[in-house]
Structure formats: structure tokens, C-alpha cells
Homo-oligomer: A and B are copies of this chain.
Amino acid sequence: MENAFGSILIISGPSGAGKSSLIEAAKDSIGDFYFSISTTTRPPRKGERNGVDYYFVDKETFEEEIRAGEFLEYAQVHGNYYGTSLKPVRKALEEGKLVIFDIDVQGHAIARERMGDLITSVFVTTPTLKELKRRLESRGTDDEETVQKRIQNAMVEIEYITAYDFLIINDDFEKALDSFIAVAKAARLKKGRKQALRFVNEWRGKSE
């Protein structure tokens, strides 16, 4: 029963707080999971692979899925669609997997609305804004303008931490990793309403 139906872990937090590193480092400790990948209509860039970086689909397919209500959320940016398709999520849940979403505070709010009873959420941040700036500047992957935009976003996103179940302050990476693994393991123990009620019936039924 324990794995009859999966559950969802949402991880949010400013770019530069270490979300990807935590997920990567936790991989071997948290068991089988499905990492939710965005779907887009923009063409793959060099080295990007379908089903790894994105699901790449054409505009017609994307719009069909929109009409079918298959997107958790979607947006159009520079004429291209980006969105979170629920199809692969449903499949993973039915296989009893933990589904991990790395999405922003808006995506979290929408997911809560639609699948709240399956969700455990965690917000990951640096100890301070100053430290976030330092990390973004020192990793050197973004130009000054992008860094500024990320900082602006972070200033807004941080307001939403009260909407999350758990807060990880990524100061010491090993400690943060231990915390993240605990949250991911706990997330597996989340039972949706339907699953919980089914369990109650089974629990009693098997008693005869």
C-alpha cells in the first residue's frame, strides 16, 4: 500500500540558493522519483535533449494540451510557450513515485490549489540577501543585468515563505542536504485524501 500512489515535493527559492545542487546531491538517498520537466515550443538549443532539459513539442500540440486542461501552468515568452504538463506527472503518481517540482512561488500556489493534498513544499534560500548576491556574482554564469533581475525576483519571492511547509536556510551545504533528504523522505509519507480513505478501508477490511 505504501507505494500504491505517489506524492509531490515542491522546491522553490531564489536562483542561486542551491536548489539544483541539493536535488542532484540527494538523488541517491531519496529513492525513485520523477523530476518534473517543463514543456516548450521553442526549438532545442545545442546540446539540449528532449525529455531531459525540456519536452519539445510544436505549437499545435501545446495548444491542444492547453484546451484539454493538461497544463498546471503555462506562459508565453518571446512568442514561445513554456508550461508544466500534467500528463507525465499523473503517470509518475500512478506508478507510486515521488514527483519533484522545481517551480517558482506562483507555480507553487497554483499546484496547491489543484493538488494540495499530495504536496509537501520546501523553500530554499541563502541566509541573507547579501549572500545571495555574492553567490550569483561569483558563479559568473549571468551578466550584470540578469543578476539584478534575479535579485529583484528574490526580494519578491522571499515574501512567500509562509506558504511553504518547510524552510531550508542553505548556509552549510551538508546540513542543508541532510535537511532536504529528510523533507523528501517525509514527502513520500504524504497521503492524498483519496489514498488515505482507501487505506482506512483496507486497514479495516483486512481485519476479518
Contact = CB atoms under 8 A, between A and B. Distances in A.
A185 interface: yes
Given A182-B181, A182-B182, A200 B159 contact: yes
Contacts of A182: 181-183, 185-186, 189
Contacts of A191: 161-162, 166-167
Interface residues of A, number: 44
Interface string A156-178: 00110110011111010000001
Contacts of A206: 127-130
Chain A interface mostly helix, strand, loop or mixed?
Answer: helix
A207 interface: yes
A207 B122 contact: no
A190 B155 CA distance: 21
A158 B128 contact: no
A1 interface: yes
